[in-house]
Amino acid sequence: MFPQRVRLQYETSLCNATCLIGCRVQRLPEGSTERYTRWINSLTQDQLITQAYTSHGPTVVMPTWFCSRKLFLKVGLFDEGGKGVPEDLLFFYQLLRQGSRPFRVDQGLLVYRYHERAATHSVTEETIWKLRVDFLQERVLSQWENFTIWNAGKQGRKLYRCLSLTNQKKVKAFCDVDENKIQKSFYTYEESKQRPKPTVPILHYKEATGPFIICVKLDMTGGVLEENLNSLQLKEGTDYFHFN
C-alpha cells in the first residue's frame, strides 16, 4: 500500500464512522482483470450501494477495507468456513443489512496483485450466484410488486428459474434488443411443476415497463446498454438494478 493510505482513510473515517471505507487500486500485473479494475475505480458513491448485486462482488474490494473495530464487531466478524467461502461478500452483505454503507477514497492507495493461486479462485460461481440471488430477493424484489428482467437470453432465464415462486409471479416480462428472441413472443418455463406451465412475454426494451433487473454484463456492449438505459431516462437504484 502507498504511504498515505492509512492517513487518508483514517481522516475519511472521522466523518464517516459507520462506513466501510475503500480506495481506488492499481492492478499488478498492469492490465490484469481490466473490466473488473475499471469497475472498482469508476463507480460513483451511489453506485457503491446500487451495484452491490453484480457478479463483481463487494463494490469496495476487501484489500482496501478500512473501518473501526466497533463497526467490524457490529457487523459480526468474518465467516471462517475456510476454502470456498466468500467471506468478503458475506461480510459486505451483512454490513448493508446493518444499515451501514461503503465509501471510497478516490485515490489509488493500494497495489492490488493478481495471481492464479489467489483464494478467490476457490469460490465457485454457483456459490456466488445463490448468495446474490437471495440478497437481490431480500433487498430489492421483496419491495416490488412486479418487474421486468432485461435479457431474454441465458442469464435472464436463469435468474427467473432461480427466483422464489412468489417472485417468479412478479415477473411481468423479459425485454431484449435481439429480434430473434423478441419474435418468439414468450418464454415458457418448461421445468416448472405448475400446470399450466408459466409463460412470460418477451418484449423489445422500448415497449417494456420498469422497474428492471438488468441481466446484461456491464462494459461489454460498447456503451450500447448504457445508451439504451439513458434513452429511457431511468434512474439506477430506483428504476433498475444491475445484476450481472
Calculate mean pLDDT across residues 27-48.
94
Among residues of the chain, what percentage have pLDDT more than 70? 98
Rounded-to-integer distance, Cα 219 and Cα 36, Å: 9
CA distances from 52 to 70, 75, 88, 101, 109 (A): 23, 17, 12, 11, 22
Q: What is the pLDDT of residues 157-166, one digit of tens each?
A: 999 999 999 9
Rounded-to-integer distance, Cα 69 and Cα 67, Å: 7
Rounded-to-integer distance, Cα 162 and Cα 149, Å: 13
Calculate mean pLDDT across residues 19-28.
96
Q: What is the pLDDT of residues 50-109, one digit of tens each?
A: 999 999 999 999 999 999 999 999 999 888 887 889 999 999 999 999 999 999 999 999
pLDDT recorded at residue 102: 98
Calculate mean pLDDT across residues 128-153.
97
Sequence-ordered alpha helix ranges (H) in 16-68: 34-42, 47-50
pLDDT recorded at residue 119: 63
Rounded-to-integer distance, Cα 182 and Cα 175, Å: 8
pLDDT recorded at residue 197: 94
Task: Report all structural domains of the chain as residue ranges with CATH numbers, in order of start.
Answer: 5-123 (no CATH), 140-242 (3.40.50)
Rounded-to-integer distance, Cα 62 and Cα 78, Å: 12
The three-class DSSP label of residue 14 is helix
Sequence-ordered alpha helix ranges (H) in 43-183: 47-50, 69-75, 87-97, 125-139, 154-162, 165-168, 179-182
Rounded-to-integer distance, Cα 114 and Cα 94, Å: 26
Distance from the Cα of residue 197 to its chain's centroid? 30
pLDDT recorded at residue 154: 95
| DSSP-assigned states of every residue in 156-199 | HHHHHHHS-HHHHTTEEEEEES-HHHHTT-EEE-TT--SSSPPE
